[in-house]
Amino acid sequence: MPKVLISDELSPAAAQIFRDRGVEVDIKTGLKKDELIAIIGQYDGLAIRSATKVTADVLAAATNLKVVGRAGIGVDNVDIPAATARGVVVMNTPFGNSITTAEHAIAMMFAVARDIPAASASTHAGKWEKNRFMGVELYAKTLGLIGAGNIGSIVADRAQGLKMQVVAYDPYLTPERALEMGVTKVELDELFARADFITLHTPLTDGTRNIINAASIAKMKDGVRIINCARGGLIVEEDLLAALNAGKVAGAALDVFAVEPAKENILFGHEKVVCTPHLGASTTEAQENVALQVAEQMSAYLIDGAVSNALNMPSVTAEEAPRLRPYMKLAAQLGSFAGKLSAEVGIRKVTIEYEGAATKLNTRPLTAIALQGLLGPLMPSVNMVNAPVVAKERNIAVADTKLEAPSNYQTLMRITVEMDGKTRSVAGTLFADAHPRIVSIKGITVEAEVTPHMLYVTNEDKPGFIGALGSILGEAGLNIATFNLGRRTAGEEAICLVAVDEAIPQSVVDKVRAIPQVKQAQALDF
């Protein structure tokens, strides 16, 4: 039974879902890094929010880990490249808290426009300072939206309901989508020049870090108000403080901070700053949504191999997973077979072709598995999650093609590997929809099951070869399980694939190589 650790505060519904799906679950929140490292090795899954930092050293200790599930959107607390390198799927729940977070941004905008937190504190203190608090309307003001994804779009919609004009900067926002959202797509400097309120809704990346700094603030309108319910690192806090003190920025509403948990911050105590402790996603509805969703997604992956909302792996639905399973075996075998034939030379290009029924499948995970099998003999650390990345890093071009032309087989998958100076191709099918068979090697028809110990021979199709080979294997006490032959045309290149019951010693391979008709012989262990 797979075992999952919940290491951050999640709705109790998550633990119940795991148990209902047959996943054992431990809940241990507030762990220090070394405490997490000490126990993570026991778990197949780790369910987190933003407090747990899934760093490279945590992942190094996570020897059984298969999936990290983030109950929320931002995954900047997970080292995704390190997870990918270790074959750990990282999933998030991209929509479960979007409305809640957008509503928080709108609430923060009202709060900073009308000084609500300070006015509330003053009134509680019995001061009745009616003249101290003079706000501004949102009506007819311009809202500058930086990041027009899920949350940004909802904020834009709600702001339009308040009769604000919305201008948006997002390098990935298409003119069509901007039109659909009813926002004006602008460049960043134009947004700074036009906006009365600026709200941030981007992930924290190298491209967005410190996007609000002294230079960008200088381009903003005097009296601008800034709202950040995305990530702390988007704003240079020292520059914001200076601009607030200078009166350039009239107010800021911040849910997120450069260092969290933010027990201290240079902006705390400033009368023009409204703060909340990263509450953007904190509604009962959102927490229920993300907890249920993450537990469903992680259980589906651990139990059925279904992948959804993964950031480092193609999706596989629960319906697809059982259909893909025999193909996954075929892809792994073909990749591994091709890899063993290609191990010594530099691979330049890999083409994976699908024919017949295979063209109807979600082939991206199959391609990833085939690459894993192919690269495995060269790089043992490769896995289906990191295989496409590893191929790219090694400058191996990968092409994935569905051939619509009629095929000789009901379903077929072919891997062609182009190397320095030579090409190898291996094709396979499924018998009775479930049993992988290799049906062609280098374009020569064969019919072989992949078994643990095989001898692969290419030879000239001339009399005497089979007898000589049989004698060598017999003398070595190797029992032949299956013997498969194929040839291009009579008298030309032929291929022989022999399955034997035990590993083939190198001395036997050397004797086979000495048979006059043999061009090449190789023991293959799967």
Ligand X SMILES: O=C(O)CC[C@@H](O)C(=O)O
Ligand Y SMILES: NC(=O)c1ccc[n+]([C@@H]2O[C@H](COP(=O)([O-])OP(=O)(O)OC[C@H]3O[C@@H](n4cnc5c(N)ncnc54)[C@H](O)[C@@H]3O)[C@@H](O)[C@H]2O)c1
**Active-site residue numbers?**
231, 260, 278
For residue 47, the cross-strand partners are 6, 69
Query: CA distances (Å), 261 to each of 93, 211, 258, 351, 441, in order?
Result: 22, 21, 9, 48, 59
Q: How far apart are CA 102 and CA 113, in angstroms?
A: 17
Integer CA distances (angstroms), 138 to 133, 143, 220, 231, in order: 16, 9, 17, 24
Angle, CA of 462, 419 and 372, to the nearest 5°: 105
Which of ligand Y, ligand X, none interacts with 98 (beta carbon under 5 to 8 A by kind)?
A: ligand Y
Smallest distance, Å, CB 502 to ligand Y? 54
Using CB under 6 A, which of 49, 86, 424, 511 touches ligand X?
Answer: 49
167 touches ligand Y (CB under 6 A): no
**Residue 261 sits in the site that holds ligand Y (CB under 6 A):** no
The binding track of 380-419 with respect to ligand X, each residue x by CB under 6 A or -, is ----------------------------------------
Using CB under 6 A as the binding criterion, the count of chain residues that bind ligand X stands at 10
Burial 423-454 (b: 16+ CB within 10 A, else e): ebbbbbbbeeeeebbbbbbbebebebbbbebb
Short-list 385, 298, 366, CA closest to 23: 298
Residue 201 binds to ligand Y (criterion: CB under 6 A): yes
Q: Would you count residue 305 as binding ligand X (CB under 6 A)?
A: no
**Residues 6+ positions from 155 with CB-CB distance below 8 Å:** 102, 105, 106, 143, 145, 199, 201
Q: Which stretch binds ligand Y (CB under 6 A): 131-139, 195-203, 332-340, 494-502?
A: 195-203
Cβ of residue 152: shortest distance to ligand X, in angstroms? 13
Q: How many residues appear in the chain?
A: 526
Contacting range for ligand X; rule: CB under 6 A; set: 66-74, 110-118, 259-267, 484-492: 66-74
Rule CB under 6 A: is residue 255 a binding residue for ligand Y? yes
Q: Is 98 in the site for ligand Y (CB under 6 A)?
A: yes
Interaction partner, residue 169 (ligand Y, ligand X, none; CB < 5-8 Å by kind):
ligand Y
Angle at 341 between CA 337 and CA 342, to 5 degrees: 115
Q: What are phi and psi of 181, to 5 degrees?
A: -80, -15
Q: What are phi and psi of 429, to 5 degrees?
A: -135, 180
Per-residue mark of binding to ligand X, 269-298 (x: CB under 6 A):
---------x-xxx----------------
Q: Kindly report the number of other CB atoms within 10 A of residue 380's CB atom.
A: 8
CA distance 455 to 476: 13
Which of the stretches 67-75, 193-201, 405-413, 504-512 binds ligand X when contact is defined by CB under 6 A? 67-75
Which secondary structure element, helix H or strand E, spans residue 181, and what is its range? helix 175-181
Q: How far is the CB of 329 from ligand Y (least distance, A)?
A: 35
Q: Quick one: which of 229, 258, 274, 499 contacts ligand Y (CB under 6 A)? A: 229
* Residue nearest ligand X (C-beta atom): 72
One residue of 170, 237, 353, 355 binding ligand Y per CB under 6 A: 170
What count of other Cβ atoms lies within 10 Å of the Cβ of residue 102? 24
Q: Are 508 and 476 in contact (CB under 8 A)?
A: yes
Q: Which residue is nearest to ligand Y (CB)?
A: 149
Determine, following the binding rule CB under 6 A, whether residue 74 of this chain makes contact with ligand X. yes
**Residue in 50, 299, 363, 411 binding ligand X, rule: CB under 6 A:** 50
Binding residues for ligand Y, rule: CB under 6 A, are: 72-74, 94, 97-98, 101, 146-152, 169-172, 201-203, 207-208, 229-231, 255-256, 278, 280-281
Chain positions contacting ligand X, by CB under 6 A: 49-50, 72-74, 97, 278, 280-282
